[in-house]
Structure 1
Amino acid sequence: MGQYLVRMLLQVVPVMFLISIIVFVLVHVTGDPVNLMLPETATEEDREILRAALGLDQPLYQQYFVYIKNVLQGDFGNSFHYGEPALPLVLERLPATFELAAVAMLIGIVIAVPCGMISAVKRNTVLDVIISFLSVIGKAMPNFWMGIMLILLFSVSLGLFPVSGRGGVEHIVLPAFTIGIGLAAQMTRLIRSNMLEILSQDYIRTARSKGLREVLVVGRHAFRNGLIPVVTIMSLQFTSLIGGTLVTETVFAWPGLGQLLVTSVNMRDMAVVQAAVFIIALVVIVCNMLTDVVYRYLDPRIKYN
């Protein structure tokens, strides 16, 4: 395992190098940032002076070398929209996104695990049909529509939760449930299908033939072996939430990384976009490594050679 993690860490270098190239190219094909930073009344001389000050008058390969040098020092440049360094601005918003993603994932797990197991154990019953129907509906509903409906019901009509912002526990309930319901719907279907496959295995029939109670058979033997695909989807969903909660964050004005990214893209604030993409990439890599560690814990038969 130790050697495997070392190899994974060494693979981070070429991955981040490729990401740096992609981000650098995308920044330069989106247009000239000087046109955004100066008013329309600015003269061409003013534009050339600013372009020289930003190093945009140099050849493209020289700009890339300067860009990489600064990135290695943690300097992604200054945000012209917010007027401060880009990386601290991204790191300041990251805890809010982590908080929202973690609570949403917890809600999804709390709903999906029992529903998926019950649906598998009670296969082809009325309860199974109801859970399957609700999971399809939950997956089909867009996040922005779900968020608006929750706001209209629990904020506007009942006045139970605030409409927007980040503060106490009451502020995170609606945005977390908006994301968590969709996650729960997807994981419920996965858990059900995986548990159905496991419950038909020989070792499950052997455990039942020994007279073990159904609760022990399902909980001790079937559930743990069924967690590996669930851990996979949880890892993929959590990493996507770090950079993909922008719709929900925008609906609820949640001050996270997604909302910052949307604003920066609209304003062509590429220093912030570059920093955000790098941070999201690092989070994805770390989550993948942790997922492999969890695999080894759940199934000791898995070897990393």
Structure 2
Amino acid sequence: MKTRFGTPKCHERKSCVACSLRGPVREPTCHSVLLVLPFLLRRLGLAVATIFLVVTVGFVLGRLTGAPGALLLPDNASAADVDALNARLGFDRPVIVQYLDFLGGLFVGDFGDSYRRHESALGLVLERVPATVELAFWAFIAGFALALIAALAIQLTGSRLLRAIVGWSGAVRQSVPDFFFALLLVLVFSVLLGALPSLGRTSPASLVLPVITLATGQFVMYLRLLDAALSEQAEQDYVRTAFAQGHSRASILLTQMLPNALAPVLGMAGLNLGGLLGGTVVVEVVFAWPGLGSLLTDAVSQRDFPIVQAGLLFVALMFVLVNTLVDVLVSRIDTRTAHS
């Protein structure tokens, strides 16, 4: 139904064929901007609180493990030498003073030097960031793209057999630990076939095996979410109306069902991408990938607190940034998110 100015008046899909064919009604552009602005402000406040909480918890847990002097000195070091080193590192001061000093350095980006490497902790973390971002990005793209292609193929064909085969294959992969699956890939493609490098980050080909390991592990979850969301959209009235109007299955799926189904899937995808950006320790260890996960693991085991604190801040920033961007994207796709 339209007014005399041609503006849609009906907001009920069931009572208007035109509205039903368009799918869920979108808010006017100016109204959407007003809705997103307070949403962004809330997300910004939550992001600041989350980062503050993460770095604070990291500081507290680090101090609960004790001073690192005994680990940094040889086994035959005297107690006096250990106490002197702990004092030089500032561990003889009250915890609250250490915390305030830590916050002061946090605001200026000074986390101090690594206890073992005697280099800037922040610099060491930033050296590992490109490798981590590269691996996380391509693993996310590959896993999500594979799941999207499989979900669209299942919906287009309507084949229960295809759904069962794809789902079963993905479930088998998900049941295999990443460590074991990575070793199998190395054995087949590096040792037996000699087709791909297995260690380090020396060429674009070095990405293939780590990306396959991570992407196939993410594939099943994305596939289940996409298939469920598309199946739910297939039951909506606007889809039946579009079929009645003579639109093809592919056209309805790609132009109407898929955009409406992406909103709930993107939220989980953002969480997974944030986790990948935090480093994937198992994959980095197996493939000797110079990422952030292996650096933080070594730093934790050695109580190298400056690296741990700088790494935690970066992980928190990336996690919050990715999920904030995803939430904004979802709110633009589905304005009900902004209302909630």
User: Contact 2:267 / 2:327 at 8 angstroms: preserved in 1?
Assistant: no
Map of 1:63 onto structure 2 = 98
1:276 aligns with 2:311: yes
Segments of structure 1 that go 5 or more residues without pairing to the other structure are none
Map of 2:15 onto structure 1 = none
Map of 2:236 onto structure 1 = 201
User: Contact 1:139 / 1:186 at 8 angstroms: preserved in 2?
Assistant: no
CA distance in 2, matches of 1:272, 1:228: 37
1:147-226 mapped onto 2 (5 Å cutoff) = 147-226=182-261
Q: Cα distance, 1:241 vs. partner?
A: 0.8
Q: Deviations over 1:83-120 (max 9, x none)?
A: 20111111110110110010101111221101012223
Q: Cα distance, 1:302 vs. partner?
A: 4.3
CA distance in 1, matches of 2:104, 2:70: 25
Q: What is the identity, as a one-letter code, of the residue corresponding to 1:41?
A: N
CA distance in 2, matches of 1:216, 1:120: 12
Where does structure 1 differ by over 6 angstroms across 4 or more consecutive aligned residues? none
Map of 2:330 onto structure 1 = 295
TM-score (norm 2): 0.85
Q: What is the identity, as a one-letter code, of the residue corresponding to 2:116?
A: H
Map of 1:116 onto structure 2 = 151
Q: Cα distance, 1:127 vs. partner?
A: 1.5
User: Contact 1:76 / 1:87 at 8 angstroms: preserved in 2?
Assistant: yes
Map of 1:247 onto structure 2 = 282
Task: Summarize the Cα distance change of 1:188–1:48 in structure 2 as closer, same or farther, 3 Å threshold.
Answer: same
CA distance in 2, matches of 1:243, 1:284: 8
What is the SS of the residue equivalent to 2:278?
A: helix
User: Contact 1:116 / 1:190 at 8 angstroms: preserved in 2?
Assistant: no
Structure number with bigger Rg? 2
> How many residues of Structure 1 are paired with residues of Structure 2 in the alignment?
305
Cα root mean square deviation, aligned: 1.7
Task: Summarize the Cα distance change of 1:249–1:63 in structure 2 as closer, same or farther, 3 Å threshold.
Answer: same
1:99 aligns with 2:134: yes
Q: Deviations over 1:212-265 (max 9, x none)?
A: 011101111111111112211210110111224111011100000011112112
Q: Cα distance, 1:298 vs. partner?
A: 2.0
Segments of structure 2 that go 5 or more residues without pairing to the other structure are 1-35
Residue 68 of structure 2 is aligned with which of 22, 33, 37?
33
What is the SS of the residue equivalent to 2:274?
A: helix
CA distance in 2, matches of 1:121, 1:167: 41
Identity of aligned residues (%): 36
Task: Summarize the Cα distance change of 1:133–1:65 in structure 2 as closer, same or farther, 3 Å threshold.
Answer: same
Q: Deviations over 1:24-60 (max 9, x none)?
A: 1110122320111111222222222222211111111
TM-score (norm 1): 0.95
Residue 262 of structure 1 is aligned with which of 287, 294, 297?
297
